[in-house]
Amino acid sequence: MKRWLYQHRYALAVALRRLANQPFSSLCNILVISLSLAVPIVVAAILDTAQPVVRQIPVSAEVTLYLDRSTPLASAEQLGAELRQRHAEHIDTLEVIDREQALAELRRQPAWSDALAVLPDNPLPHAIVVTLRQHADIASTSAQLSAQWSELDAVDTVQVDSAWVQRLQSLLDFLGIGLWLLAFGVAVVVLATVFNTVRLQALNQREEIAIARLVGATESFVRRPFLYLGALTGLLASALATITAWVALQPLNTALNRLASSYGTELSLRLPDSVSLLLAGVVIAILGALSARWSVNRNTHF
């Protein structure tokens, strides 16, 4: 056990020495990896902030049917009763809005009272406001019913009021998939950068490796410092990426706070939790070690 610990301590010391002996090259490699890692961290922070906000928005679709202006109120009420009976399994609530009541409501608002005062008659139609029952496929149901109701003779226009929420959720789902693809691209960058770094180190240490083999060094002994080199590069890059992402979120939070305050709310972008960041750092270190092992196996057979 002591021998095993000594070998690993020696390999770690060799890896640290090799990083220190080439500070500019090591720093450039770490910067490349850290900048690549910082991008998905920032995107993950944005998605983590946006998801709860979207979930708090009511997504029950509200469909408004604006009737033809020549349609009398009795026909509007009859149409509402027919829709309630025909689509009872989809409709949660249904309300027929009288055009005169709607006009009276608008006249009580100062922003509309002056404009409506100059109109010779009521420009508003009767309307039927339908709230659909909440279920997993509400977006397709609301689209299907809207298309069906727009073909009714008495209906002039159909408006789905909460369709934008469904589009926003679809956009977030799309960004989530894009985040995984971005993470895959970052993994490729880590593998390529560490592979090339270890390759150059192995070529520079050709004579040292050859002498070590002549005096009886095993392949594990030769490989181990390079594995630590790849893992250390990944860990240092992960730590620097976290710091870079935190710095990048500060101006974003300033702009977001100004936008949120105009809507009377507060929002703040935060880094993913510490456990997630730690696990990500471990994964990057493992990828670095695997890439180093691959590289040293390919470039030390001389």
Pick from 161, 192, 207: which residue ends a domain?
161
pLDDT greater than 80 at residue 12: no
The encoded tokens of residue 293 equal 């092992």
Q: Which residues are 130's β-sheet partners?
A: 63, 94
Which residues 6+ apart lie within 8 Å of 126 measured at CB? 67, 71, 73, 76, 96, 97, 98, 99
Which residue spans within 34-152 are E strands per DSSP?
62-67, 91-97, 127-132
State the first-to-last Cα distance of the chain, in angstroms, to the nearest integer: 31
* pLDDT at position 277 over 70: yes
Distances (CA, A) of 187 to 33, 35, 37: 9, 12, 9
pLDDT of 242 > 80? The answer is yes
The DSSP code sequence of 220-271 is HHHHHHHHHHHHHHHHHHHHHHHHHHHHHHHHHHHHHHHHHHHTT------P
Q: Which two tokens stand for residue 272?
A: 């993913």
Residues 86 and 223 in one domain: no
Q: Are residues 68 and 128 in the same domain?
A: yes
Task: Convert the pLDDT of each residue in 102-139 to its tens digit.
Answer: 777 767 776 666 666 666 677 778 898 888 877 666 66
pLDDT band of residue 76 (cuts 50, 70, 90) is confident
Task: Tell me, yes or no, whether 292 and 203 share the same domain.
Answer: yes
Say whether both 33 and 70 belong to one domain. no
pLDDT, residue 302, reads 45
Residues 188, 41 share a domain: yes
Residue where a domain stops, chosen among 161, 181, 214: 161
Quick one: 101 and 215 in the same domain? Answer: no
pLDDT score for 243: 93
Range of 11's domain? 2-56+166-299
Q: Which among 12-21, 86-95, 171-180, 199-208 has the top mean pLDDT? A: 86-95
Both 132 and 281 in one domain: the answer is no
Q: What is the mean pLDDT of residues 45-56?
A: 70
Contact 91, 131 (CB under 8 A): yes
The CATH number for 146's domain is 3.30.70.3040
pLDDT interval class at 40 (50, 70, 90): confident
Q: 59 vs 44, 56, 134, 215, 293, CA distance in Å?
A: 23, 9, 8, 72, 51
Contact 284, 225 (CB under 8 A): no
Please state, in angstroms and rounded to a whole number, the distance separating the CA atoms of residues 25 and 214. Answer: 30
Do 14 and 227 form a contact (C-beta atoms < 8 A)? Answer: no
Instruction: Provide the number of structural domains found in the chain.
Output: 2
Average pLDDT over residues 249-253: 87
- Which pLDDT tens digit goes with each residue over 179-189? 777 778 777 87
Q: Is the pLDDT of residue 53 over 70?
A: no
| 258 shares a domain with 116 | no
Examine the pLDDT at 58 and tell me if it is beyond 60: no
Alpha-carbon distance of 134 to 146, in angstroms, equals 16
Residue 223 backbone phi and psi in degrees, to 5: -75, -35
* Averaged pLDDT score across all residues of the chain: 78
Could you tell me the maximum CA-CA distance found in the chain, to the nearest angstrom? 105
What lies within 8 Å, CB to CB, of 252 at 6+ separation is: 42, 269
| Whether residue 291 sits in one domain with residue 176 | yes
Residue 298 clears pLDDT 70, i.e. is over it: yes
Of 226, 236, 244, the C-alpha closest to 290 is 226
pLDDT at 299 over 80: no
| Residues 228, 220: Cα–Cα separation, whole Å | 12
Instruction: Of 18-22, 164-168, 189-193, 249-253, give the range with the top mean pLDDT.
Output: 249-253
Q: Quick one: 30 and 149 in the same domain?
A: no
170 in the same domain as 80: no
pTM: 0.62
Which residue among 134, 161, 188 closes a domain?
161
> Is residue 40 located within the same domain as residue 187?
yes
